[in-house]
Chains A and B, each alone.
Chain A
Amino acid sequence: ETGVTQSPTHLIKTRGQQVTLRCSSQSGHNTVSWYQQALGQGPQFIFQYYREEENGRGNFPPRFSGLQFPNYSSELNVNALELDDSALYLCASSRPDTYEQYFGPGTRLTVT
Chain B
Amino acid sequence: DQQVKQNSPSLSVQEGRISILNCDYTNSMFDYFLWYKKYPAEGPTFLISISSIKDKNEDGRFTVFLNKSAKHLSLHIVPSQPGDSAVYFCAAAPGAQKLVFGQGTRLTINP
Contact = CB atoms under 8 A, between A and B. Distances in A.
Interface of A: 4, 6, 33, 35, 40-45, 48, 55-56, 58, 90, 92, 94, 96-106
B32 interface: yes
B25 interface: no
Contacts of B6: 42
Nearest to A44: B101
15 contacts: A6-B43, A33-B98, A42-B89, A43-B99, A43-B101, A56-B98, A96-B96, A99-B32, A99-B34, A99-B49, A99-B96, A99-B99, A102-B46, A103-B36, A103-B43
A110 to B, nearest CB: 15
Nearest to A48: B97
Interface residues of B, number: 25
A35 B4 CA distance: 16
Given A41-B104, A48-B97, 20 more contacts: A4-B43, A35-B99, A42-B102, A42-B104, A45-B98, A48-B98, A56-B95, A92-B43, A92-B99, A96-B96, A99-B34, A99-B49, A100-B46, A100-B49, A101-B99, A102-B46, A103-B46, A104-B43, A105-B42, A105-B43
Given A42-B89, A98-B96, A100-B34, A90 B43 contact: yes
A58 B94 CA distance: 12
Contacts of A103: 36, 43-46
Nearest to B32: A99
Interface in B40-73: 41-46, 49
A90 to B, nearest CB: 6
Nearest to A88: B43
A100 B36 CA distance: 10
